[in-house]
Amino acid sequence: MTDNPTPPFLPAVVDRATWTAEREALLVREKAHTRAGDEIAAARRRLPMVEVDAGAPLVGPSGPVTLLDAFEGRDQLIAYFHMWHTGHPAAEQCAGCTFCASQVRELSYLHSRGATYAILCQGPYEQSARYRDFMGYDVPWYSAQESAETLLAGRGPFLLAFYVRHGDRVFETYATNGRGVEAMTPTYSLLDMTAFGRQEEWEDMPEDRSQGWTPDGGQIVDGRPTAQWARLRGGHSDDLGT
C-alpha cells in the first residue's frame, strides 16, 4: 500500500514480470511494423521516375542558380519546399514548415551517402533568407519562387521531394506531403514512444489520459511558431524587411 497512489490518468502500475510480458507482446507488433516499413521502402526504390527541368531557376546566396546546381555535385537531392507568406512577419510564417525545417540540421550522414539536402522556399530569396538567418538554419537555402509551381506540379502546399541526377539530367523519384514529411521530425517519433504521445486531439488515447495541448500539437505558442521563442530570447531579430 502507498499513501501516494498514482493518478488515474497515468498507466497502471504492475510488477516487472507483468510489464515485461506486455512489452514483449508489443515488440512482436513493432517488429512486424518495422518489416512492413522495410517492404514499403523496397517498393519505393522500385518506383519509376519522371524527368524534371534540370535548369529550373533557383536563387541562392550567390545569386541565380539551377536545380542541378543544388545537388552540389552529389548524385541525389532531398528538397523540402518551404511555404512562404510574402510580406508577413516571422511570427506569421508557416508553423508546420518551421517545425519540420528546424529539426533537420546535421547533414554529414546524408552527404556520406551521396545525398544533398536543401530547403527550396516558395518566397523571394532576400526576405526568406532573413527568416533562415533568424531561425539559425545552416542548411542550403534557395528561393524556388520562380519554379515552385512547375516543380510542385499541383502538389503541396508543402512537399518533400527526392531527386536523382544522371549527368546534366534530373529526375524526381519520390515525393510526399501531409504526414509523409514527418520523416523530418524525430520529435514526433520520440513523443510517439511516450505515455502521453503527441498530445494531439486525433490520437487514440487511454481513457482519462491527460491531453493538455491544442490541436496544433504545440507547434504554436503565444501566436508564433514554438521554435522562434529561443531565437528571440537569444537576441536575434525577426525583422524580415517587410
d(CA 96, CA 130): 18
> Is the four-CA dihedral 55, 56, 60, 63 of positive or negative sign?
positive
Categorize the per-residue pLDDT at 219 as very low, low, confident or very high, splitting at 50, 70 and 90: confident
Q: β-strands 115-121, 141-143: how paired? A: parallel
pTM: 0.91
d(CA 42, CA 38): 6
Burial of 59 (0-12, 13-18, 19+ CB in 10 A): buried
Residues 68, 151 contacting (CB under 8 angstroms): no
d(CA 19, CA 25): 10
Categorize the per-residue pLDDT at 3 as very low, low, confident or very high, splitting at 50, 70 and 90: low
Q: In what order do the strands lie in the sheet with 141-143?
A: 50-52, 169-176, 159-166, 76-82, 115-121, 141-143, 57-60, 63-66
Q: Specify the DSSP class assigned to residue 13.
A: P
pLDDT tens readout for residues 14-32: 999 999 999 999 999 999 9
Q: Fill in the amino acid letter for 136.
A: G
Instruction: Calculate Rg over the CA atoms of the chain.
Output: 21
Cell numbers linked to 219 = 507547434
Q: Across residues 78-98, what is the average pLDDT?
A: 95
All domains in the chain, ordered by first residue: 50-184+219-233 (3.40.30.10)
Of the candidates 119, 150, 131, 139, which has an alpha carbon nearest to the alpha carbon of residue 87? 131
Residues 200, 218 contacting (CB under 8 angstroms): no
pLDDT tens readout for residues 21-72: 999 999 999 999 999 999 999 999 999 999 999 999 999 999 999 999 999 9
CA angle 37, 74, 64 (to 5 degrees): 115
Categorize the per-residue pLDDT at 214 as very low, low, confident or very high, splitting at 50, 70 and 90: low
Q: Fill in the amino acid letter for 117.
A: Y
d(CA 208, CA 231): 36
Judge whether residue 217 has pLDDT over 70. Answer: no
- Position 171 scores a pLDDT of 98
